[in-house]
Chain A
Amino acid sequence: MERSGTHTVGHPVDQDFLALPLTALADAALDAARRGGAQHADLRVHRLRTQHLELRDGRVVVAADSETLGLAVRVLRDGVWGFAAHVDLTPEVAVATARRALDVTATLASLATERVTLADEPVHAGAVWVSPYDVDPWAVDVAEKIALLTDRSAALLAASGVDHVSASLVQVKEQSFYADTAGTTTTQQRVRVDPDISITTVDRAGGAFESLRTLAPPAGRGWEYLTGTGWDWGAELTELPELLAEKVRAPSVEAGPTDLVIDPTNLWLVIHESIGHATEYDRAIGYEAAYAGTSFATPDKLGTLRYGSDVLTVTGDRTVPHGLASVGYDDDGVAAQEFDLVRDGVLVGYQVDRSFAPRLGLDRSNGCAYADSAEHVPLQRMANVSLQPDPVTDRTTSDLIGAVEDGLYVVGDRSWSIDMQRYNFQFTGQRFHRIRGGELVGQVRDVAYQATTTDFWGSLEAVGGPSTWRLGGAFNCGKAQPGQVAPVSHGCPSALLRGVDVLNTGSGS
């Protein structure tokens, strides 16, 4: 399925960004690029505002605001890319930066043994897109934010068995202006927040400690997310100390093949690592081979690779409301879309940008270009890659647990690691609840689960219904050299998987 990008305006783009000489910079840079022989060029002005608040045991450790802003020029001359960027936002520097990008193509052209072609894209002139949020976090006094984190810290510190509390909030506003030689100009603004609270209990006499973190994922929302829209903070914080106490008392897990019911708060990360990255076309053809790695899901297997069981259907999108990778237009000037990656268990698609779409035989990019700052070149980055819920039966998480005689219910993400072809992975979690006879009977500890990607998804027996579907995600998906980070969300329902290999990490595993 494919859906065209939308032209959405909720909040306006901030005036101080619009007041930058965006059009003058574009005119100067693109004209210089054309004069220098570029067949395609684009200019991007990118601003990233970040506020980071962090409290330890109720006292502020970090109260910091930061901003990056610069212009980037990318040229394509005779099929060879050149890229340059500068912090100065003047037309003179825009021209000089375009010329530097052209110089880069000349200096390094001898290394380009292949020529780049770009997929066509309709011109989007004057497009504006702003992510949906209610309250701009920058409109809220930092004192109010600190007070909220302080109050929550104090309440948790007062709970029995809680020795330490860490509370943090990272809020980001990302603004970009893109213009290319075809005539597309887009102006966008995205807001996202990442609140996080963890509690620790310490056994000083025994020299041991244990911790538990909130499950609230980062979200493409505003300050309202901290106060109850999209997440029930009251309920989660109330139960956190008792869950930690139960975790401390829990017996160590018995290793071996185990039936797992995995909550969306854990499963999103498995999807990210084993499907999201594995279906990036640049990885699949080796562009990340020396760094982030490749993919077992190579293009020769498109349409035939049995990725998982029949209930595995996975989409990519840059459109889902509050998704961290949701945009109106990508950094190639391509309108946001939704598309299939795995349908009924079979690999059917990849995430691409304009340079990769023609190599895959596609007429059009599906809009996955992104650069995390002006200093970095746009790359194919991850869309919101999501596992679809059961379209017929709205099965609950309890229903899935009820189908397990002896197993584990996995909640929250913690440690993750996967190999360079996205085959072998190991995950832990915040909590592992033992299932006996279809009922939860208390936590176990020292748990990790390992699997090979296709075996794991092949053991997917059932997925929950739409009522269990949730967005998880992260601010910091890493890729490329020099390293870039990208925010991305993953939606998924609860899921039931049979016979997954569980390790006991406390016994030297």
Chain B
Amino acid sequence: MSTTGSALVERALAIAASQVPDAGAVALVREVSEAVVRWANSTMTTNGNTVERRLSVVVLVPLDGGTGAGVVTVPAPTGLADGPEGDAVLMDAVAGAVQAARRAGPARDAAPLPEPAGAADAHWDDGAEDTSTAVFARLAEELGASFRPGEASFGFADHRVTTTWLGTSAGVRRRWVEPSGSVELNLKDPSTGTSVWGGEGAADMGAVDVTALVERLRNRLPWGARRIDLPARRYETLLPPSAVSDLMIYLAWSMGGRPAQEGRSAFSRAGGTRVGERLGDLPLTLAGDPAGAGFADLAYTPVLATTYSGDEVSVFDNGATTGRVEWVRDGTVATLAYPRAAATEYGASFAAPTDNLVLTGGDDATLEEMVATTGRGLLLTCLWYIREVDPTTLLLTGLTRDGVYLMEGGEIVGEVNNFRFNESPLDLLRRATEAGATERTLPREWKDWFTRAAMPPLRVPDFHMTSVSLGR
């Protein structure tokens, strides 16, 4: 590749500076190299090895009464910054962003661009890193060997390497490389209809032990030998870490400070917000932490890079250093998300949405140990199709999936039908009576957007199943 992301960023910033010298500017280049493989009914269905590269230009133009923001994102092929043709594309992009900013008028989230925390990253001028389907060599071998008659295997593995260059007119020059990946496996026993699921997040695909994952899931298939039909009602329920993560992710996504301040969120209450409100007896802490909060593979680069503004983030904050945020601390709502301007407006602290979520504060019990101490209740595997029903309470609906089991006397005694549930994650934190040991997990529902999570299993004494689902 003749043009590095850094050269593209510098050229875009130079063009912005020449077109609108008094404007602020942000240039963001992201190159994504991705390898994927998918299988169903124990045969490969789709695959791919792709390279995508885009440049986003954010221009912050002084206007009467404030500053306007405009954003243009364009494909960034090799050589875009190398000659007149590329310059024409960059000039069009900058001009488009300038026009959008002027048309938009003064932005409510305007703020001076953050100053750089230090010199340019040491690897600023390096090229992008990539991946290929060669990373699936071990997976293909172990997965192929696992296919066997009388069992159907379904799943997906992906590995992506994202190289990001961020430059701003304030002097920020950051480059970072984030490999990420995951493997999901779903085994079905056609003779019983039993379906089990498991998954792992993995930045290093070669480290994934597919054989062990297959065996772990096969150990659950016999639980489906005894089918038990149960009606919809409230049950004592153990939510495993994946199910907890999907509920906590939705909770975190709903913690915008402005909506709460304006009275239009579940985190609003009469006369203010729910910050400071004690949710339940358990001293649970829900935090995001670029350092990984004790889980090395959850770490992410502590710098904000965004191409859009909303209630939680702002394009004016590009380049800001981000840190640990405790959304819930020791069972109490602690922090809501604010861009810098909104934080100033409401007298709060700048808190950007975090790229990982870790729930801690439980005891050391594993899920198996919590099963062993259960008199009678349901053990779930994961949740699916979670959607908001009532934003005033954050009431969500969704379904259980790939394994609901009846526990009696500390043991699994059979597989139960699936259910639709209606629950609010806020209420679950209020009612949970036990949290186990926090472990790395893969969110089943929101994995496409959020993979970095560590959660404990939770015991909820009265999880609300509202109807039986015939789906398996």
Contact = CB atoms under 8 A, between A and B. Distances in A.
A331 interface: no
Interface string B135-177: 0110011011001000010111010000000000000000000
B4 interface: no
Contacts of B143: 111
B395 A505 contact: yes
Contacts of B308: 52, 62, 64
Given A59-B106, A417-B398, 14 more contacts: A61-B107, A65-B72, A65-B96, A66-B56, A81-B46, A93-B78, A163-B264, A207-B263, A209-B392, A289-B40, A415-B397, A481-B156, A482-B448, A505-B395
Contacts of B50: 72, 83-86, 374-376
Interface stretch (A100-108, A215-223, A395-403, A469-477): A100-108
A182 to B, nearest CB: 21
A205 B270 CA distance: 5
Given A84-B48, A375-B52, A63 B69 contact: yes
Contacts of B47: 81-83, 104, 108, 377
A450 B467 contact: yes
B107 A59 contact: yes
B74 interface: yes
Interface string A442-485: 00001010101000000000000000000000000000111100
B133 A417 contact: no
B107 A417 contact: no
7 contacts: A65-B97, A104-B133, A202-B262, A286-B152, A286-B154, A421-B470, A505-B389
Contacts of A501: 467
Given A63-B100, A112-B43, A291 B156 contact: yes
Contacts of A346: none
Interface in B23-76: 34, 36-54, 56, 68-76
The 6 A-B residue pairs with the shortest CB-CB distance, nearest first, are A421-B471, A419-B471, A66-B73, A60-B104, A207-B270, A424-B469
A35 interface: no
A348 interface: no
A450 B466 contact: yes
Contacts of A417: 385-387, 397-399, 420
A172 B39 CA distance: 32
Contacts of A291: 156, 184
A65 to B, nearest CB: 5
B263 A293 contact: no
Contact of B77 (A89, A101, A209): A89
Given A65-B72, A87-B75, A209-B264, A448 B397 contact: yes
A61 B71 contact: no
A142 B78 contact: no
Interface of A: 52, 56, 59-70, 72, 80-89, 93, 100-101, 103-104, 107-108, 110-114, 141-143, 146, 163-164, 200, 202-211, 285-291, 293, 296, 374-377, 379, 415-424, 426, 428, 446, 448, 450, 452, 480-483, 501, 503, 505-506, 508-509
B418 interface: yes
B472 A421 contact: yes
Contacts of B186: 289-290
Contact of B44 (A80, A146, A508): A80
Nearest to B419: A424
B43 A114 contact: yes
Interface string B251-274: 000000000001110001111000
Contacts of B156: 290-291, 481
Nearest to B195: A289
B262 to A, nearest CB: 7
A48 B300 CA distance: 30
Select the residue from A62, A68, A379, A450 with max chain B CB neighbours within 10 A.
Answer: A62
B175 to A, nearest CB: 19
Contact of B154 (A207, A209, A289): A289
A379 B46 contact: yes
B100 to A, nearest CB: 4
A86 to B, nearest CB: 5
Nearest to B71: A64
Contact of A426 (B71, B185, B271, B397): B397
Contacts of B385: 417-420
B214 to A, nearest CB: 14
B46 A377 contact: yes
B48 to A, nearest CB: 4
A374 B136 CA distance: 22
Given A203-B263, A420-B384, A293 B471 contact: yes
A111 B144 contact: yes
A481 B471 contact: no
Contacts of A56: 108
A111 B37 CA distance: 10
Contacts of A143: 103
Select the residue from B41, B44, B107, B269 with max chain A CB neighbours within 10 A.
Answer: B44
Contacts of A210: 392
A357 to B, nearest CB: 16
Given A290-B156, A424-B470, A505 B73 contact: no
Contact of A108 (B72, B140, B263): B140
A62 B109 CA distance: 11
Select the residue from B34, B75, B109, B195 with max chain A CB neighbours within 10 A.
Answer: B75
A135 B45 CA distance: 41
A423 B36 CA distance: 30
Contacts of B44: 80-81, 108, 111-113
Interface in B388-414: 388-392, 395, 397-399, 401
B52 A419 contact: no
Contacts of A83: 46-50
Nearest to B105: A60
